[in-house]
Chain A
């Protein structure tokens, strides 16, 4: 009897420890996803314009899954200590449901990250930036977002100002090539928002215009975001899988 008592205590201890880790990871996942959803780099509108905001959906799911994991881990700890069959059955069923949601979130984040290419951004930007007619609200939103982004990050276009030269665009329809080889936002601006040297900017003299593309400024944070959600979620799920298997084993051994 002593030996199975020891086994019992060890398994209980392991399961409690497993649940504590799940609870803490759940809180960490919630915090991380709240950080991403709060969008410190102002990327959400850009991604929405390219119809690629799956990563934000994955982060939203992550917030709720994290809270659910925390709550369920407490339920699990109580169930293990009291060795109650009903509590543990409820725990396992709810955990499997949470597992399914978190799985959806991870896969969405990983897929969303894969589908982000510079070409996609280029195409959407050329089609919608400064589109004058018909201009609906979302086109104005796209223009405003790109302007703010280019101003803040000192960049121009997706791959560079040559985007505006290599391809025709909605911008080109209303702005002649001789006056605006690229948008004014690509010029180095002074405190009042006017180009420091308009001719220098139009010619493309380095120092008076932003020669680098914005794609790096976009893809860096988005990659971190997507990998944070996808791979951290994956790690939590692997751990949860082990704890759930242990709980199922424990449950099946409880005397009724």
Chain B
């Protein structure tokens, strides 16, 4: 048994490291270097079934078929690869991940028992890598820590009660209401006092009428020149 423990990818940070039906593991690079001829399988088991898993269960049999997971099959084998798929050392800048649950086309296809199909419920699950030479298990990693997938809530649970009224809205409403009330009061006062004497004195403003002054020609004006002579 090798000391390596499979784990969820932490570097680079992935938004989809766990979704509702998939999760992403680091590839087992530089782990199975002594087993160049072996097939490396991923075993995905229910958390409680991890300790009872029998390494001699062959892949692709009814006992490890994905399509029968999780009931009655409690652990399935998938993602077959050879050491060539996991070159060592890892090149810098490469993203070396395994996405468990990415194959949707074969999820119902019983002729493909090693399908890497989407996981049916949030888990928890535990995984380990198993190297088989022929059908003999020659090496295995430790079981991972339990992996729990994301669970989606109903959108009805989103709280949409109003965020309350902001101070600005309350200020606008109160001030405008007061101003409007004053204007209405002034308008009513104006209409009530229409025609009757005004409040501020009747002669405060006079209409700028054009006052026409008629010149009166009286006798006196005509008499003046006569008087001087």
Within 136-183 of B, Cβ neighbours of A (below 8 Å) are at 150, 152-160, 162-166, 168-169, 172-173, 175-177, 179-180, 182-183
Chain B 50-64, CB-CB to A under 8 Å as 1, else 0, gives 000000000000000
User: Contacts A179-B104, A238-B179, A241-B179 known; A253 to B201 CB distance under 8 Å?
Assistant: yes
State which size class the interface on A falls in: 35 or more
The total of interchain contacts (Cβ-Cβ below 8 angstroms) comes to: 179
Partner of B198, one of A115, A120, A253: A253
Q: Is B8 an interface residue (CB 8 A)?
A: no
Contact indicator B17/A126 (Cβ below 8 Å): no
Q: Is A172 an interface residue (CB 8 A)?
A: yes
Q: Is B3 an interface residue (CB 8 A)?
A: no
Interface size counted on chain B using CB atoms at 8 A: 64
Interface-side segment among A21-29, A133-141, A199-207? A199-207
Chain A 240-256, CB-CB to B under 8 Å as 1, else 0, gives 01001100111111111
Residues in A with CB closer than 8 Å to B164 are 114
**A43 to B194 Cα, complex, angstroms:** 51
Within 93-140 of A, Cβ neighbours of B (below 8 Å) are at 93, 96, 99-100, 103, 106-107, 110-111, 113-115, 117, 119-120, 122-123, 126-127
Chain B's nearest CB lies how many Å from the CB of A235?
A: 11
Contact indicator A122/B205 (Cβ below 8 Å): no
- At the interface, is chain A mostly helix, strand, loop or mixed? helix
Q: Is B184 an interface residue (CB 8 A)?
A: yes
Residues in A with CB closer than 8 Å to B101 are 178
Residues in A with CB closer than 8 Å to B113 are none
Chain B 9-27, CB-CB to A under 8 Å as 1, else 0, gives 0001111110111101000
Residues in A with CB closer than 8 Å to B158 are 119, 122-123, 126, 167
* Complex A-B: 7 CB contacts under 8 Å: A8-B205, A89-B194, A92-B187, A165-B150, A167-B154, A167-B155, A203-B16
Minimum-distance CB pairs A-B, first 6: A204-B15, A204-B16, A110-B169, A178-B118, A126-B155, A177-B20
